[in-house]
Amino acid sequence: MAEEVKLFKTWSTPFGLRITWALQLKGISYEAIDEDLSNKSALLLQYNPVYKKVPVLVHNGKPISESIVILEYIDETWKQNPILPEDPLERANARFWAKFSDEKLIPSVWSAFTKEGKEREEAMDASLENLKFVEEELKGKKFFGGEKLGLADIVFGWLGNLLPIFEEVSGLKLLDDRFPSLLAWTKELSELPVVKYNWPPHDKMIIKYQALYEKFHPAK
Ligand SMILES: N[C@@H](CCC(=O)N[C@@H](CS)C(=O)NCC(=O)O)C(=O)O
């Protein structure tokens, strides 16, 4: 039976980009459906009634939500070009860092982008502290798991495209030469064809996040 793979996403979502990379790494053909999050489709609401968010992967009519869950599903379903290592300890490590990205680093960076005054300073400090942990983990390595792109790299991909947009729009600087290993990692990542050819357009991202920034920081 021919497989049917659909990916509900938006043009800009870093969470959806993870799935695009994974599907393309595996060489899976799929249909991409771009949602308008201000007017979510009935299908999206049907497929992800709990979170009502993208990305959603629909494989032969069955929906899977939450990007890290989807990545693991993809890896278990299509075995070629594995994104999780064989060794249980290494798998646990990849999952640990993926969780750290979404539960610690993203909230701190998001607060630095959206808050003002003392709250922003605290969020910047927290972000820098979190980035230091990542820097330590990447020391002496090309990717999180070693020589090859894996789960943690895919999950941290937003550091390669979204963080520079946040920095450009807000004037805040997080990723600089205090983090040489992280900078080298973003370069390695962005040179991979699967990554390079799928970045959302820079100018469009600036317009989107400039508008968002202004919403959080209205002119006084
Ligand atoms: N934890 C989710 C986060 C997904 C997420 O936040 N998606 C955003 C777009 S970037 C969304 O669909 N937001 C719609 C909403 O919050 O109503 C994942 O990893 O998939």
Q: What is the pLDDT of residue 2?
A: 78
* CA–centroid distance, residue 220 to ligand 1 (Å): 30
* Cβ–Cβ < 8 Å for 182, 138: yes
Ligand 1 atom closest to Cα of residue 53: 12
Sorting pLDDT into bands at 50, 70 and 90, what band is 214? very high
* CA–centroid distance, residue 203 to ligand 1 (Å): 22
What are the sequence ranges of the domains in the chain? 5-77, 88-216
| C-beta of 101 in contact with ligand 1 (< 6 A) | no
| C-beta of 155 in contact with ligand 1 (< 6 A) | no
CATH no. for 5-77: 3.40.30.10
Sorting pLDDT into bands at 50, 70 and 90, what band is 93? very high
Instruction: Please state the rounded mean pLDDT for residues 40-52.
Output: 98
Cis previous bond, 200, omega within 30: no
Does pLDDT of 103 surpass 70?
Answer: yes
| C-beta of 182 in contact with ligand 1 (< 6 A) | no
| Residue % of the chain over a pLDDT of 70 | 99
| C-beta of 66 in contact with ligand 1 (< 6 A) | yes
Instruction: Please state the rounded mean pLDDT for residues 114-139.
Output: 97
Q: What is the pLDDT of residue 1?
A: 62
| Residue identifier of the C-alpha nearest atom 19 of ligand 1 | 67
Sign of the dihedral through C-alpha 150, 200, 34, 207: positive
pLDDT tens string 14-44: 999 999 999 999 999 999 999 999 999 999 9
* CA–centroid distance, residue 165 to ligand 1 (Å): 18
Radius of gyration, CA atoms only, the chain: 18
* Cβ–Cβ < 8 Å for 55, 13: yes
> Phi, psi at residue 173, to the nearest 5°?
-120, 125
Q: What is the pLDDT of residue 92?
A: 98
* CA–centroid distance, residue 65 to ligand 1 (Å): 10
Residue 154 is classified by DSSP as H
Residue among 202, 208, 132, 129 nearest 160 (CA): 202
Q: Token pair of 44, please? A: 């999206």
Sorting pLDDT into bands at 50, 70 and 90, what band is 219? confident
Arch. (CATH architecture) of 88-216? Up-down Bundle (1.20)
Sign of the dihedral through C-alpha 76, 63, 27, 13: negative
Q: What is the pLDDT of residue 108?
A: 98
Does pLDDT of 107 surpass 70?
Answer: yes
